[in-house]
Chain A
Amino acid sequence: MDRTLDLAHRLARFGAWSGGALVVLAAVVIGVDIALRKLFVLSIGGASELSGYVLAIGSSWAFALALLDRAHIRIDSLYVVLPTRICAALDILGLVVMLAFAGLLTWQGWHVFYQSFQFGSRALTPIATPLLYPQFLWLVGLVYFVVVIVLLLARASHAFVTGDIATVQRIAGSRTGKEDLEEELESLRRRADGTEARP
């Protein structure tokens, strides 16, 4: 179970990197577009349309990573003063509501894709992109998000039932400001080491 989660985490990270790479690529395309427009009064066009697809695909591919890294914001004003057992119950409740939302989103997303597939819908732009391709990639991210929620929910529920509250908190707990900070400091330290290591 833990190994499956670990694998899911690695795949999620890979999804985020790929999405990030697409973002950089889109930035380059936009840069070229501006340069051509300004220097040669020439427009290749479509940069903004493609960037839109990149945003949709990139973020849907990173939903799962944000969940696994517990980056989806929660309000913890009450949470922090409650006993850990109740917190763990809330963590699981949070996952259940998230699953309901993501499930519905994916189901409706499937309809969007299926309609484009059935009617061969194209974007109302000069490129007339067949919408089914970007929508398929978007849908893949959504489906993976649902799969990861189910995995997390199964692992967290199992841990909760067997009384392993620490595990519930580790994989599904609300991030505290302290954790955010430690990561920030850790990356600062690594940067500082990098400076010294350089000749």
Chain B
Amino acid sequence: MIWITIALLIGLLALSIPIAAALAALGLTLDYFYSFLPLRLALGEMSWGVSTDFILFAIPLFVLLGELLLRSGIAERMYGAMSQWLSWLPGGLMLSNIGPCTLFAAVSGSSVATAATIGTVAVGEIERHGYNERLFLGTIAAGGTLGILIPPSIVMIVYGALTETSIPQLYLAGIIPGLVLAGFFMITVIIACVWRPAWGGDKIAISWGQRWSTLPDLGPPLIIFVVVIGSIYSGLATPTESAALGVLMALVLAGWKGRLTATMLREALEGTMRTTAMIMLILIAATFLSFVVTSVGIGRQVTELITDSGLTPMQTMWMIVGLYLVLGMFMESLSMMIATVPIITPVVISMGFDPIWFGVLMMLLLETALITPPVGLNLFIVQGVRTKGQIRDVMIGSFPFVVAMLAMIVVLVLYPDLAMWLPNNVGR
């Protein structure tokens, strides 16, 4: 039954059936052949239940928040400001790609938008300052992935909802690994530029006056970050409520900057609802599939298979990591998570791992999936922005950062406290 399920899933996805329809088709097939009672009769109540889940209302709110920050130009200005502040370091703008990417991705929640926006602004600087092109492109592709790990992250909300894990705890757990990973990326650039100084391009002279003058541009994103995260941990609001506060704040800031026009708002709402609909339809199908998988006993079979294999929990965990790294080469990351989490997470928990820790590990694996060839969304985006050259350059340039991510994954598996320290010591 396990192998049939896996073969069907791979088959449906390889045929390029829309993910939501593919998951539902798999659920219905399993229901038809293996279930004693027709589980499909529960589909209506179940989808009404998922669709009215207040926790999931954070999805349209955070998507809208990102759209507003992007369309009001607040996010772009933040890039300009941060690049001026980080320009003195070896590797200059390459480092500053990672800093703003981290913030930008955190507030916008979309790696595509991050890579596209920062890519467009930054690519022109490669020739002007003589940077090594490949490494520079790698910083943009890799920097754009950080948003999944650093709160507010939409992917984490989806993980939390699917596994019934506390979202504030997940957010707390993601912060330190996210910052450490950003640090790893920066160290990667510094090592490369110390080793081959020519890669680092010219020094850019920027006066302190210029720097101070850009400081106000860092304000709005910072305010939003503080409002969203602060209201969660001060106990003022739940994650969904904090997202609503973030949206209201973004509306006020966009209005204050004179960017809140009817056209802008309409475009932002349209984009928001399109993304929300896409995610919600997949979630409805995934919830149904997960219900069927549990009811017909596939989850138990997977657990038995792993127990019988005689592997230690640690060895199993390395196998799971390996599995996701391979899957991530071919699958888009959000759908990869939604399709596998209902089957994998119960097994992981039954082996004694913490679901919050595993959530953070999962985010790291998804980030890696975004920049591992042949299918890596961020690679495609960055290549698209530059309009010339071959995608090979982006892949080679991203490679050092894939290594940094793998190092981070190893560190997190060996030292779970890196993720668990904050949630264990704050807010419990």
Question: Do the beta carbons of A195 and B73 come within 8 Å of each other?
Answer: yes
Instruction: Please report the C-alpha to C-alpha distance between residue A98 and residue B268 in the assembled complex, in whole angstroms.
Output: 27
Contacts A55-B60, A97-B25 given; does A112 touch B384 at CB 8 Å: no
Report if A52 contacts B (CB, 8 A).
yes
Instruction: Please report the C-alpha to C-alpha distance between residue A97 and residue B64 in the assembled complex, in whole angstroms.
Output: 30
Report if A56 contacts B (CB, 8 A).
yes
Among B12, B116, B381, the one with the most A-chain Cβ atoms within 10 Å of its Cβ is B116
B290 to chain A, nearest CB (A): 15
Question: Do the beta carbons of A71 and B330 come within 8 Å of each other?
Answer: no
Question: Do the beta carbons of A100 and B244 come within 8 Å of each other?
Answer: no
Question: Do the beta carbons of A181 and B385 come within 8 Å of each other?
Answer: yes
Instruction: Please report the C-alpha to C-alpha distance between residue A153 and residue B43 in the assembled complex, in whole angstroms.
Output: 24
Report if B44 contacts A (CB, 8 A).
yes
Nearest residue, chain B, Cβ from A194? B259
Question: Do the beta carbons of A59 and B71 come within 8 Å of each other?
Answer: no
Question: Do the beta carbons of B270 and A73 come within 8 Å of each other?
Answer: no
Among B112, B241, B274, the one with the most A-chain Cβ atoms within 10 Å of its Cβ is B274
Contacts A13-B270, A62-B274, A184-B117 given; does A48 touch B240 at CB 8 Å: yes
A80 to chain B, nearest CB (A): 9
Question: Do the beta carbons of B240 and A24 come within 8 Å of each other?
Answer: no
Instruction: Please report the C-alpha to C-alpha distance between residue A182 and residue B116 in the assembled complex, in whole angstroms.
Output: 9
Interface residue from B17, B47, B76, B241 paired with A74 (Cβ < 8 Å): B17
Interface residue from B44, B112, B247 paired with A108 (Cβ < 8 Å): B44
1/0 per residue, CB under 8 A from A, across B271-299: the answer is 01111111011101100000000000000
Contacts A72-B18, A75-B14 given; does A55 touch B51 at CB 8 Å: yes
Question: Do the beta carbons of A52 and B17 come within 8 Å of each other?
Answer: no
Report if B319 contacts A (CB, 8 A).
no
A100 to chain B, nearest CB (A): 7
Question: Do the beta carbons of B116 and A105 come within 8 Å of each other?
Answer: no
Interface size on A, residues (CB 8 A): 75
Contacts A13-B270, A20-B269, A24-B269 given; does A138 touch B18 at CB 8 Å: no
Question: Do the beta carbons of A53 and B52 come within 8 Å of each other?
Answer: yes
1/0 per residue, CB under 8 A from A, across B43-62: the answer is 11101100111101101110
Report if B22 contacts A (CB, 8 A).
yes
* Chain B contact residues, majority secondary structure: helix
Report if B173 contacts A (CB, 8 A).
no
Report if A180 contacts B (CB, 8 A).
yes
Interface residue from B47, B59, B245, B247 paired with A105 (Cβ < 8 Å): B47
Instruction: Please report the C-alpha to C-alpha distance between residue A53 and residue B24 in the assembled complex, in whole angstroms.
Output: 23
Nearest residue, chain A, Cβ from B379? A177
Nearest residue, chain A, Cβ from B112? A180
Interface set, chain A 154-188, CB cutoff 8 A to B: 174, 177-178, 180-182, 184-185, 187-188
In the complex, 24 of the A-B residue pairs with CB atoms within 8 angstroms, ordered by the A residue number, are A16-B269, A23-B273, A30-B244, A31-B245, A34-B231, A34-B237, A49-B54, A51-B54, A51-B240, A59-B51, A59-B60, A65-B277, A66-B274, A72-B21, A74-B18, A75-B19, A76-B375, A77-B375, A78-B16, A90-B15, A104-B24, A112-B45, A181-B381, A198-B258
Interface residues of A (CB under 8 A from B): 13, 16-17, 19-21, 23-24, 26-28, 30-31, 33-34, 38, 48-49, 51-56, 58-63, 65-66, 69, 71-79, 87, 90, 93-94, 97-98, 100-101, 104-105, 107-112, 134-135, 138, 174, 177-178, 180-182, 184-185, 187-188, 191, 194-195, 198
Interface residues of B (CB under 8 A from A): 12-22, 24-25, 28, 40-41, 43-45, 47-48, 51-54, 56-57, 59-61, 64, 71, 73, 76, 112-113, 116-117, 120, 231, 236-237, 240-241, 244-245, 247-248, 251, 258-259, 266-270, 272-278, 280-282, 284-285, 330-332, 334-335, 374-375, 377, 380-381, 384-385
Q: With A30-B245, A72-B281 given, can you name 4 additional A-B contacts, CB distance below 8 Å?
A: A24-B247, A74-B18, A109-B48, A181-B116
